[in-house]
Amino acid sequence: MASQPSLAPLPPAPVLLQGREMQLQTRQQAKHSVSDPKRTEKREMSWRPQYRSSKFRNVYGKVANREHCFDGIPITKNVHDNHFCAVNAKFLAIVTESAGGGSFLVIPLEQTGRIEPNHPKVCGHQGNVLDIKWSPFIENIIASCSEDTSEDLSMPLIEEEIDGLSGLLFPFYDADTHMLYLAGKGDGNIRYYEISSEKPYLNYLMEFRSPAPQKGLGVMPKHGLDVSACEVFRFYKLVTLKGLIEPISMIVPRRSETYQEDIYPMTPGTEPALTPDEWLSGMNRDPILMSLKEGYKKTSKVVFKAPIREKKSVVVNGIDLLENVPPRTENELLRMFFRQQDEIRRLKEDLSQKDIRIRQLQLELKNLRNSPKNN
């Protein structure tokens, strides 16, 4: 009997989702399957969970309070299989509904509550925005795209029937804890599994349930988690029906308040291992790791300089229209009016002080001319 090919080391293979079926595979095993016809047989796991000892067995989800959510956001109605949300340690970005091109919002994480309807949006795409991602190294850089692509994955390693719904499954893999989170589009549940290098490879842990359906989910990077609360993962859930962004924390229950090193191993940090020139030349290095024990304090040494754009001006009747943008609403007009009134008042005060100073200098000059020493 031919020996079975060994599994590749963790992190495991990519995930291919078709309907509500989850499929895991490795490229190495896909090559073996060409020469081994027995690998083409369909492997099915029992729907019953495989119970085993795991420190993540009792992980539970904690929904943030309403005052810590982001409300009043016009979430996009696009039906593409994307998350429409991206998070880092400073900002939350959401793809919004708009006409005449795509747009998305960027909100600081501390600015929770209801978002004003006239909150500034990032525009620039002629079509709908399909995906957004933050830079893993510089937290003020975000990339957006309006076209997607696909990759052909062949034979699965494991197949498991999740449920009978027709919505897509969104996979989220945590390489530090080897946990796989599965969130269904159109329902509010999040199932999580632990992946191992031994059979059955995929071990069911628990399920977070919520009645509010989700359109997409954003994920907080590791350095933005609350390690004092034993938080190992954090989702930002898009609830389209309420225009709400709801944070969900995945927490490992621990009695001790000390740092839990077993659930927080060294993780990829914010400092890039390669420069752009090195990457373009074909070099490759492992990511630079960081510890979360002291909290996120280290900042990236990379200095990003925005490109200098040539300043253009459109002058009409002596007024630069690009420099002085006309107000769009009555409130903006009032603010501009009061701002100009304050500026006029300050200019009058400066002019009055200068007049007084001029008179003083004229008087001193007159006294010098009339002094006996000059006679």
Can you give the pTM of this predicted structure?
0.49
Q: What is the pLDDT of residues 178-225, one digit of tens each?
A: 999 998 888 888 999 998 888 878 888 888 988 888 888 889 988 889
Provide the 3-class DSSP secondary structure of residue 39.
helix
Instruction: Give the type of residue at 82.
Output: N
Position with higher pLDDT, 4 vs 203: 203
Q: Which residues pair with 31 in a beta bridge?
A: none
CA distance 356 to 334: 33
- For residue 57, name the pLDDT band (cuts at 50, 70, 90): confident
Cis peptide before 327 (omega within 30 of 0): no
Q: What is the pLDDT of residues 105-146, one digit of tens each?
A: 999 998 888 888 888 888 877 778 888 889 888 888 998 887
Query: What letter would DSSP give residue 59?
Result: -
Tokens coding 214: 């989700």
**Residue 48: its pLDDT value, please?**
53
Q: What is the mean pLDDT of the chain?
A: 76
Q: Which of 154, 195, 153 is nearest to 40 (CA)?
A: 154
Q: What is the pLDDT of residues 98-113, one digit of tens each?
A: 776 678 899 999 888 8
181-184-190-193 Cα dihedral, nearest 10 degrees? -40
